[in-house]
């Protein structure tokens, strides 16, 4: 029996649940995402002359905002006021944040001003929600006025406040203003976080200053902050855009070494970056601020494939698939293979070989047949064995030996099905 059924049974037996019982049920339904059911319980509650309190209204408004049901949430606020249930700052802040998330700055502003008129002053969370809205719409002067008002009423800006304003200015390419607020942030002993750094890195990349963006990335790490997929993706995309291909590839390698999984945007930048930089990579005339250029699997595999006449875009996909596989990210590599297919690029022999390295790297060499093709021609085997020499340079001996063993067994199976004069002699 579900909780709502139990409630109905209670009422049928003449028991009237109190506000606490109704509140607990409404909260549970909202946590389960059952907003419509929660509203029905509220109606039953009112029918029984049990009026919702501020906590019930708060969770209902919050649930409606999460489902983007803003008109209904606004109606509940009006109902609260009619019933003389005074909304607290949490109710107002929930509505303000809901309107901001729905791109409705006008209504968010009205609620914020109405809140102050009613003598309920926002806390740091309420101010931050409003500041976030102004910054999102690029109205920086209003964001600064809101921050000033915040201080006036004794509410201290926190790292979220500063980061939001820094991000707003950085998105506009106004780095000098962003830095002013960074200095103020540091002066007030408010420590920048990973989001602050991503905003600044993005801002410098926006104006083409990738050198400073890279310095910030290094400084962030020296402060003990761990870069995430957003930091890496911003840098990789911008470095490719500025023809700093070696640097971009180095950050991708660093990203994988740190077990940071690329997202779709990262992969988009990599595929386009490699393809658009093809001539630069082939001619080895890419600019770089990397002091020592060690072998890079992404660039070396891509270059080797393109020089041999493989399609540049498929070569880019395959170089990325191999890079993921050599870092034990087989699941991500398989996802990329499916995305590759969906975009109209058929996996080829090199995709097969790259994924085989992935299966062997994570100890699943027995499982590869269920995913990879199991039929090749003799000349295709020759190609596979030839590229194995290139790929082996970038993996540990255990993996290269296992790949060799699997391929040898595969080749022997192939030979056993051929006529004697057609048999493949070996690698």
pLDDT at residue 126 in the model: 95
pLDDT at residue 300 in the model: 94
Encoding tokens for residue 148? 């000033």
> For 341-352, what is each residue's pLDDT tens digit?
999 999 999 999
Which of 127-136, 328-337, 344-353, 403-412 shows the lowest mean pLDDT across its residues? 403-412
Encoding tokens for residue 288? 């770089």
Q: What whole-number distance in Å separates Cα of residue 42 and Cα of residue 60?
A: 9
pLDDT at residue 379 in the model: 78
pLDDT at residue 125 in the model: 95
Please give the model's pTM, rounded to 2 decimal places.
0.84
Average pLDDT over residues 274-303: 77
Residue 122 has pLDDT above 60, yes or no: yes
- Mean pLDDT score of the chain: 88
Alpha helix ranges (H) inside 343-424: 349-361, 378-392, 397-416
Residue 223 has pLDDT above 70, yes or no: yes
Q: What whole-number distance in Å separates Cα of residue 157 and Cα of residue 313?
A: 48
The answer to whether the CB of 126 falls within 8 A of the CB of 93 is yes
End-to-end CA distance of the chain: 67
pLDDT at residue 259 in the model: 96
Average pLDDT over residues 111-126: 91
Q: Which residue has the higher pLDDT, 364 or 23?
A: 364
> For 132-160, what is each residue's pLDDT tens digit?
999 999 999 999 999 999 999 999 999 99
Q: Where are the beta strands (DSSP E) in 181-304?
A: none
Residue 9 has pLDDT above 70, yes or no: no
Residue with tokens 């070989």: 353
> For 158-216, what is each residue's pLDDT tens digit?
999 999 999 999 999 999 999 999 999 999 999 999 999 999 999 999 999 999 999 99
């Amino acid at each position: 029996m579900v909780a709502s059924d139990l409630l109905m049974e209670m009422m049928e037996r003449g028991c009237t649940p109190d506000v606490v019982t109704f509140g607990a049920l409404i909260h549970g339904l909202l946590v389960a995402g059952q907003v419509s059911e929660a509203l029905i319980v509220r109606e039953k509650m009112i029918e029984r002359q049990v009026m919702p309190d501020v906590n019930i209204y708060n969770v209902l408004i919050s649930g409606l905002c999460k489902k983007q049901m803003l008109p209904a949430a606004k109606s509940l606020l009006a109902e609260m006021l009619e019933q003389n249930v005074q909304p607290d700052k949490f109710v107002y802040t929930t509505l303000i944040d809901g309107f901001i998330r729905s791109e409705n700055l006008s209504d968010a502003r009205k609620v914020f001003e109405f809140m102050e008129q009613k003598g309920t002053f926002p806390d740091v969370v309420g101010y931050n929600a409003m500041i976030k809205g102004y910054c999102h719409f690029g109205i920086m002067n209003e964001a600064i006025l809101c921050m000033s008002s915040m201080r006036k009423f004794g509410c201290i800006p926190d790292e979220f406040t500063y980061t939001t304003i820094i991000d707003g200015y950085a998105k506009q390419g106004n780095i000098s203003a962003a830095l002013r607020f960074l200095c103020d942030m540091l002066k007030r002993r408010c420590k920048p976080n990973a989001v602050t750094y991503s905003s600044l890195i993005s801002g410098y990349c926006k104006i083409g200053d990738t050198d400073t963006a890279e310095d910030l990335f290094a400084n962030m790490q020296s402060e003990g902050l761990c870069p995430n997929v957003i930091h890496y993706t911003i840098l990789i995309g911008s470095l490719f855009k500025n023809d700093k291909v070696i640097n971009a590839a180095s950050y991708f390698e660093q990203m994988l070494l740190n077990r940071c999984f690329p997202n779709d945007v990262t992969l988009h930048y990599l595929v386009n970056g490699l393809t658009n930089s093809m001539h630069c990579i082939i001619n080895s005339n890419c600019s770089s601020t990397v002091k020592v250029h060690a072998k890079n699997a992404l660039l070396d595999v891509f270059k080797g494939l393109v020089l041999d006449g493989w399609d540049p875009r498929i070569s880019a996909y395959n170089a990325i698939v191999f890079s993921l596989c050599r870092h034990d990210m087989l699941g991500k590599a398989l996802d990329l293979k499916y995305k590759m297919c969906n975009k109209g690029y058929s996996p080829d022999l090199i995709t097969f070989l790259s994924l085989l390295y992935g299966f062997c790297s994570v100890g699943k060499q027995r499982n590869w047949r269920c995913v990879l093709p199991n039929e090749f021609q003799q000349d295709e085997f020759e190609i596979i064995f030839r590229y194995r020499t290139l790929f082996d340079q970038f993996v540990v001996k255990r993996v290269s030996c296992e790949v060799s063993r699997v391929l040898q067994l595969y080749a022997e199976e192939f030979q056993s099905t051929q006529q004697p004069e057609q048999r493949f002699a070996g690698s």
